[in-house]
């Protein structure tokens, strides 16, 4: 059994190497003095080959930023890697814009980060005007455009992996019950695009607001429960109207029948945490059973898999933790602590920069190369339009956890990547 330990990417923040990272923060312009093992040596190297990472090195999320900086340094601790210039965003859009301006003025050739969607939106026009590529750490794919890639693992990437997988097992009618928020928007966009790409009919999508009644109404409606149960109740009533003992026995037998299957054979359920706990008995009540329907969910379920036995047979898509293990071991060996969840994004972004620098520089062709890149979270490919493709494994919920039932693809040409 394989379990993935807390890799969740907050929607709004949201190649092993060894040895000491030699390239670190330039304190000019950012006012940041990294502590201890991070060092303070200024970057060297010709302008245009320098890489700048934009992170919250002070402020409420400074611990996250410093862990990500260390991960980037670890990735670049190899011969021939470009020098790294770290600049503090303080975790605000204004701070990110100021850091980007300073980096561009200093002659950077590429920006890694910033962390959140708001910071990325502030940095994008500056980078576009300067012709500087950006590998941002947000999972908000709406910010992606040519030259601006969002590396956070997105709901769209997860659904893109799941839809062709259920299609391959003969499931062609997909429904979705999703929350009325930005996360639900991303899932809806993802499942709509994925079904179209797979040549399937558009999904039946219902959105629910906050609270149990809204979730209950959505699941009842999408499952067409009234019509399915109504057919049984109509037969019961006909038996009862005969008014004899045989009719009553027949009505009781009819009442124990299972309704016909719901009008879909795969259901994307965009609930997690408390809403997911509320949804579990509703799936049983409305006869959305595992024998008839493949339940699909977000990668957030990896955090809850050990207590989701009621969803046995459900699928979600996420990075293979075995791929990440090598990075975690190298990070722990260097810094005597495990990496934070988002550190792998910085590690992979720096790895992309290192490979691109060795292939002629940070050009569109070098960054969007057809074979993609392999990092701590597996295969990723930067598309010319700014979209990011990822090779995710498919996990199945089982008793007490989850297990990989389809391995992560190793080619950008594989279905679902």
Is residue 126 domain-shared with residue 197, that is, in the same domain? no
> What's the confidence (pLDDT) of residue 251?
60
> What's the confidence (pLDDT) of residue 48?
57
Is residue 280 domain-shared with residue 340, that is, in the same domain? no
DSSP state of 145: B
Give the distance from CA 416 to its chain's centroid.
14
What is the DSSP pairing of strand 378-382 with strand 373-375?
antiparallel
Residues 6+ apart with CB under 8 A from 134: 110, 111, 112, 120, 123, 124, 127, 147, 148, 149
Nearest-Å Rg of the Cα atoms of the chain is 25
> What's the confidence (pLDDT) of residue 44?
42
Question: Can you read off the two tokens belonging to residue 21?
Answer: 């990272």
> What's the confidence (pLDDT) of residue 234?
67
Q: Is 360 exposed, middle or buried (0-12, 13-18, 19+ CB in 10 A)?
A: exposed
The CA-atom distances, in angstroms, between 11 and each of 26, 267, 300 are: 29, 22, 11
Is residue 254 domain-shared with residue 219, that is, in the same domain? no
Residue 51 counted as domain residue: yes
> What is the chain's length?
417
Q: Is 277 exposed, middle or buried (0-12, 13-18, 19+ CB in 10 A)?
A: middle
> What's the confidence (pLDDT) of residue 249?
73
Is residue 335 domain-shared with residue 359, that is, in the same domain? yes
Question: Can you read off the two tokens belonging to residue 14?
Answer: 């949201």
Residue 31 counted as domain residue: no
Is residue 310 domain-shared with residue 397, that is, in the same domain? yes
Cβ–Cβ under 8 Å, residues 185 and 175? no
Is residue 63 domain-shared with residue 174, that is, in the same domain? no
Can you tell me whether residue 283 is helix, strand or coil? helix
CATH number at residue 85: 3.40.50.2300
How many whole angstroms separate alpha carbon 230 and alpha carbon 284? 17
Q: Is 78 exposed, middle or buried (0-12, 13-18, 19+ CB in 10 A)?
A: middle
Cβ–Cβ under 8 Å, residues 123 and 134? yes
Tell which residue, 89, 91, 76, has the closest CA to residue 43.
76
Q: Crossing angle of helices 212-222/225-240, nearest 10°?
A: 70
Find the Cα–Cα–Cα–Cα dihedral 176, 178, 183, 186, rounded to 10°. Answer: 30
Is residue 165 domain-shared with residue 141, that is, in the same domain? no
> What's the confidence (pLDDT) of residue 400?
85
Is residue 178 domain-shared with residue 325, that is, in the same domain? no
Is residue 78 domain-shared with residue 101, that is, in the same domain? yes
Half-sphere exposure of 363 (CA within 13 A, CB side): 7
Q: Is 199 exposed, middle or buried (0-12, 13-18, 19+ CB in 10 A)?
A: exposed
Residue 25 counted as domain residue: no
How many whole angstroms separate alpha carbon 343 and alpha carbon 341? 6
How many whole angstroms separate alpha carbon 48 and alpha carbon 188? 40
Number of domains observed in the structure of the chain: 3
> What's the confidence (pLDDT) of residue 19?
28
**Residue 118: enclosing H or E segment and its boundaries?**
helix 117-130
Beta pairing partners, 392: none
Is residue 131 domain-shared with residue 201, that is, in the same domain? no
Residue 2 counted as domain residue: no
Is residue 91 domain-shared with residue 177, that is, in the same domain? no
Domain interval for residue 395: 154-224+262-318+391-417
Residue 347 counted as domain residue: yes
Give the chain's residues under pLDDT 70: 1-48, 230-239, 247, 250-259
Residue 3 counted as domain residue: no
Residue 22 counted as domain residue: no
pTM of the model: 0.83
- Label residues 215-240 b or e (16+ Cβ within 10 Å = b): bbebbbebbbbeebbeebeebbeebe
Tell which residue, 148, 153, 146, has the closest CA to residue 136.
148
Question: Can you read off the two tokens belonging to residue 24?
Answer: 């670190």
pLDDT tens-digit readout, 327-362: 999 999 999 999 998 999 999 999 999 999 998 899
> What's the confidence (pLDDT) of residue 11?
34
Residue 114 counted as domain residue: yes
End-to-end CA distance of the chain: 24
The CA-atom distances, in angstroms, between 306 and each of 4, 10, 290, 312, 396 are: 10, 21, 18, 11, 12
**Residue 52: enclosing H or E segment and its boundaries?**
strand 51-55
Cβ–Cβ under 8 Å, residues 74 and 331? yes
Is residue 76 domain-shared with residue 136, that is, in the same domain? yes
């Amino acid at each position: 059994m394989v379990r993935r330990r807390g890799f969740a990417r907050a929607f709004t923040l949201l190649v092993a190497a060894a040895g000491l990272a030699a390239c670190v923060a330039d304190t000019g312009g950012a006012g940041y003095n990294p502590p201890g093992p991070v060092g303070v040596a200024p970057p060297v190297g010709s302008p245009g080959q320098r890489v700048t990472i934009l992170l919250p090195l002070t402020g409420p999320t400074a611990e996250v930023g410093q862990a990500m900086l260390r991960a980037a340094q670890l990735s670049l601790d190899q011969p021939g890697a470009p020098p790294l210039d770290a600049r503090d965003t303080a975790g605000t859009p204004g701070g990110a814009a100021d850091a980007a301006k300073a980096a561009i003025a200093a002659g950077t050739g590429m920006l890694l980060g910033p962390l959140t969607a708001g910071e990325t939106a502030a940095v994008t026009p500056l980078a576009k005007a300067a012709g500087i590529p950006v590998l941002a750490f947000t999972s908000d794919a709406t910010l992606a455009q040519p030259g601006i890639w969002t590396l956070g693992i997105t709901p769209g990437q997860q659904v893109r992996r799941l839809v062709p997988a259920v299609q391959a097992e003969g499931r062609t009618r997909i429904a979705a019950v999703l929350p009325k928020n930005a996360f639900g928007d991303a899932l809806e966009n993802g499942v709509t695009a994925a079904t179209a790409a797979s040549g399937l009919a558009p999904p039946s999508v219902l959105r629910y607001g906050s609270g149990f009644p809204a979730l209950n109404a959505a699941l009842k409606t999408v499952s067409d429960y009234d019509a399915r149960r109504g057919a049984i109740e109509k037969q019961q009533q006909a038996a009862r109207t005969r008014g004899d003992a045989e009719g009553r026995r027949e009505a009781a037998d009819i009442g124990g029948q299972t309704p016909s299957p719901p009008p879909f054979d795969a259901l994307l359920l965009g609930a997690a945490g408390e809403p997911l706990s509320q949804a579990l008995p509703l799936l049983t009540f409305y006869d959305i059973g595992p024998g008839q329907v493949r339940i699909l969910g977000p990668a957030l379920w990896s955090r809850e898999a050990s207590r989701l036995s009621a969803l046995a047979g459900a699928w979600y898509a996420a990075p293979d933790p075995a791929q990440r293990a090598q990075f975690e071991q190298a990070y722990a060996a260097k810094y005597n602590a495990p990496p934070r969840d988002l550190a792998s994004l910085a590690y992979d972004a720096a790895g992309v920069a290192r490979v691109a620098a060795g292939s002629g520089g940070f050009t569109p062709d070098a960054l969007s190369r057809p074979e993609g890149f392999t990092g701590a979270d597996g295969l990723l490919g930067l598309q010319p339009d700014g979209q990011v493709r990822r090779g995710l494994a498919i996990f199945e919920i089982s008793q007490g956890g989850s297990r990989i039932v389809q391995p992560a693809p190793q080619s950008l040409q594989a279905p679902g990547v």
